[in-house]
Amino acid sequence: MVKSLPARSEVRLEDTWDLTSLFSSEEEFHQALSELEKQTDAFQQQHSGKMEDASSIVGALTAYAALYEKLVPLSTYASLVLSTDQTDDAAQMLSSKFGSVAAKISSKLSFVNSELLNLPEETLQQAMKESDEFKVYLEKLIRKKQYQLHPEVEKTLAAYSSTFSAPYGLYNTTKMVDMKFDDFEAGGKSYPLSYVSFEGDWEAEPDVEIRRAAFTAFSNKLKDYQHTTAKTYDMQLQAEKTTSDLRGYDTIFDYLLFNQEVDRSLYNRQIDLIMKELAPHMRKYAKLLQEVHGLGKMTFADLKISLDPSYEPEITVEESKKYIDDALAIMGPDYLEMVDRSYSERWIDFAQNTGKSTGAFCSSPYGDHPYILISWTGRMNEVFVLAHELGHAGHFYNANREQNVFNARPSLYFIEAPSTMNEMLVANHLLESSKDPQFKRWVISSIVARTYYHNFVTHLLEAAYQRKVYERIDAGQSVNAGILNTLKRNVLEEFWGDAVEITPGAELTWMRQPHYYMGLYPYTYSAGLTISTQVSKRILKEGQPAVDDWIEVLKAGGTKTPVELSQMAGVDITTEQPLRDTIAYIGELIDELVKLTDEIKVK
């Protein structure tokens, strides 16, 4: 039964994460922040105007990396304290304070890249020869040269960086602080509603009347805020367009894809092929849900129900560890030690409380261990969510140890590969553990309804919608709530055809994702899962050698492009084949679900 959520102050300490390895108190945080401001001034004095040859470049970059390593825990702390309770005034103030100081610091540090790019390229080449350490950093910088602006402009833009990220902060404030949900009624009874409980519980509620009533109440509240949210989003889009134009990119897509180190063909392929080829499989899945649940019609509000709600094992946090350990054992003892520590040292925030960020994420500050945010509902599928976040953790646990602070982070295109890989490992492990058709059906439906639905459908439909939004913006237009609703509805209707009725309220789904404030992020989920699906099949077939390759990929961090990283793991993403294979695999899983459902019926 869904209860109204407690305040953050009421949750059990053991369900919260321990941030003391970042800073033991707010006071320590503020002290470190003002210390860093002073060190930044000293660094500027010592190095500005003095990088002229290989050794002075290497010296400056070494000191720059050290400053950067001090900035990382500060920024992590500022965002993590806010993420568990966005209504907390002190956390809001701390985060704003950090934002304004960080903008000042990055403005003062902007001379590094500007001055390096003013030097002749041979000098930079010599610096790369002198120290391998900064080779990747300098190579990436040289690639950026044609888009670099005058040093004073760069300095000014950096000084405005917290203003540029303001739309994202506003979005979260509207969503998590201002938006308050009233209880909703169904069958003469009243039920509590919140963002977290809608996405964590009500959306999957087996009772059709309660589920649809929750959806209506949820959508009505979103609607009250649609214009503010659309305006906030438009502000983000216009700032991106201006930046793209000022820096001289051909299109806003080229600007947003630049740091991902992939071209538009990889981006477009992901959206076009899935829209077309996955849709028939997913419509079949929607029909199966409809049949099993005996629904007269299948609506958008019904898509998140599980195939067999009577078979959704409940699981505690403590019990989840055994499943995770067994499933991830294949990754080796070092990886498992990380998993152990994540539980025993409280790296994970499990609590459900008001004001907490929705969904789940993993933050992996350089020089410290990863932190995971999740709102534990007690449903078995949380094991998949946690395995996913531990996949991000395992990635940076490896990359942060092997690479310097500039080289640890890979392209966004690759970010979701290690996370979805762990979901595949959990599924493979569970499938091996029992022959019972009902259990097997539950596992496969979890992969389809969670892993593939989330990464290949939810985020794909976001990506298809987002591409339409950016096409408008690139043509010099703007957006409002009406336009965004139409674009979103069109994408949903195109994908689901007549298999699913796109109920009123579904068009507001664009208001639910913070991803739109992170550039071309949504499409990378299916890109990552395409890679991990192929690698997990390799692991099933080849065992250890495939695992070893994968660990090397994790360690490589951001020193290679997505194409190179995939190649290291034996997957060639320059062709359509891996994506085609993955879509076909999803089709097979859905056919298997249909078959198992028939078997279970006969019994």
- Residue 313, strand partner residues: none
Tell me how far, at minimum, the Cβ of 487 lies from Zn ion, in Å.
Answer: 25
Question: For residue 530, what are its two tokens?
Answer: 């395409």
Nearer Cβ to Zn ion, position 232 or 419?
A: 419
Tell me how far, at minimum, the Cβ of 408 lies from Zn ion, in Å.
Answer: 17
Tell me how far, at minimum, the Cβ of 419 lies from Zn ion, in Å.
Answer: 4
Cβ proximity of 364 and 392 under 8 Å: yes
Nearer Cβ to Zn ion, position 83 or 419?
A: 419
Nearer Cβ to Zn ion, position 232 or 411?
A: 411
Tell me how far, at minimum, the Cβ of 527 lies from Zn ion, in Å.
Answer: 12
Cβ proximity of 473 and 252 under 8 Å: yes
**Which segment (31-39, 418-426, 446-454, 479-487) binds Zn ion by CB under 5 A?**
418-426
- Residues 6 or more apart in contact with residue 476 via CB below 8 angstroms: 241
**Which segment (278-286, 416-424, 457-465, 584-592) binds Zn ion by CB under 5 A?**
416-424
- For 16-48, give the DSSP string: S--GGGT-SSHHHHHHHHHHHHHHHHHHHHHHT
Nearer Cβ to Zn ion, position 465 or 525?
A: 525
**Which segment (193-201, 379-387, 417-425, 559-567) binds Zn ion by CB under 5 A?**
417-425
**Which segment (226-234, 318-326, 415-423, 541-549) binds Zn ion by CB under 5 A?**
415-423
Nearer Cβ to Zn ion, position 5 or 373?
A: 373
Which bin fits 349, alpha (ψ -120 to 50), beta or left (φ > 0)? beta
Tell me how far, at minimum, the Cβ of 454 lies from Zn ion, in Å.
Answer: 9
Q: Are strands 371-373 and 348-349 parallel, antiparallel or unpaired?
A: parallel
Which bin fits 150, alpha (ψ -120 to 50), beta or left (φ > 0)? beta
Q: Kindly state whether residue 530 participates in binding Zn ion, applying the rule CB under 5 A.
A: no
Q: Are strands 189-191 and 184-186 parallel, antiparallel or unpaired?
A: antiparallel
- Residue 184, strand partner residues: 191
Q: How far apart are CA 169 and CA 171, in angstroms?
A: 5
| 70 HSE (CA, 13 A, CB side) | 20
Cβ proximity of 371 and 19 under 8 Å: yes
Nearer Cβ to Zn ion, position 442 or 525?
A: 525
Tell me how far, at minimum, the Cβ of 416 lies from Zn ion, in Å.
Answer: 5
Neighbours of 603 (CB within 10 A): 6
Tell me how far, at minimum, the Cβ of 392 lies from Zn ion, in Å.
Answer: 6
Neighbours of 223 (CB within 10 A): 16
Question: For residue 500, what are its two tokens?
Answer: 């699913």
**Which segment (27-35, 126-134, 419-427, 529-537) binds Zn ion by CB under 5 A?**
419-427
Tell me how far, at minimum, the Cβ of 100 lies from Zn ion, in Å.
Answer: 29
Tell me how far, at minimum, the Cβ of 389 lies from Zn ion, in Å.
Answer: 7
Nearer Cβ to Zn ion, position 106 or 419?
A: 419
Segment holding 191, helix H or strand E: strand 189-191
| 433 HSE (CA, 13 A, CB side) | 14
Tell me how far, at minimum, the Cβ of 583 lies from Zn ion, in Å.
Answer: 20
Tell me how far, at minimum, the Cβ of 393 lies from Zn ion, in Å.
Answer: 11
Q: How far apart are CA 558 and CA 561, in angstroms?
A: 7
Which bin fits 413, alpha (ψ -120 to 50), beta or left (φ > 0)? alpha
| DSSP SS3 for 404 | coil
Nearer Cβ to Zn ion, position 290 or 363?
A: 363
Phi and psi dihedrals of 395, rounded to 5? -60, -55
**Which segment (20-28, 162-170, 395-403, 411-419) binds Zn ion by CB under 5 A?**
411-419
Q: Residues touching Zn ion: how many (CB under 5 A)?
A: 1
**Which segment (6-14, 202-210, 413-421, 494-502) binds Zn ion by CB under 5 A?**
413-421
Per-residue contact flags (x/-) with Zn ion for residues 370 to 409, judged by CB under 5 A? ----------------------------------------
Rg (CA), the chain: 24
Residue choice 299, 354, 419, 566 for contact with Zn ion (CB under 5 A):
419
Nearer Cβ to Zn ion, position 133 or 382?
A: 382
Tell me how far, at minimum, the Cβ of 415 lies from Zn ion, in Å.
Answer: 7
Nearer Cβ to Zn ion, position 106 or 458?
A: 458
Nearer Cβ to Zn ion, position 40 or 363?
A: 363
H runs (alpha helix) in 225-292: 226-247, 252-258, 264-277, 279-292
Neighbours of 385 (CB within 10 A): 22
Residue with smallest beta-carbon separation from Zn ion: 419
Nearer Cβ to Zn ion, position 415 or 590?
A: 415
Per-residue contact flags (x/-) with Zn ion for residues 117 to 156, judged by CB under 5 A? ----------------------------------------
Contact residues toward Zn ion (CB under 5 A) are 419
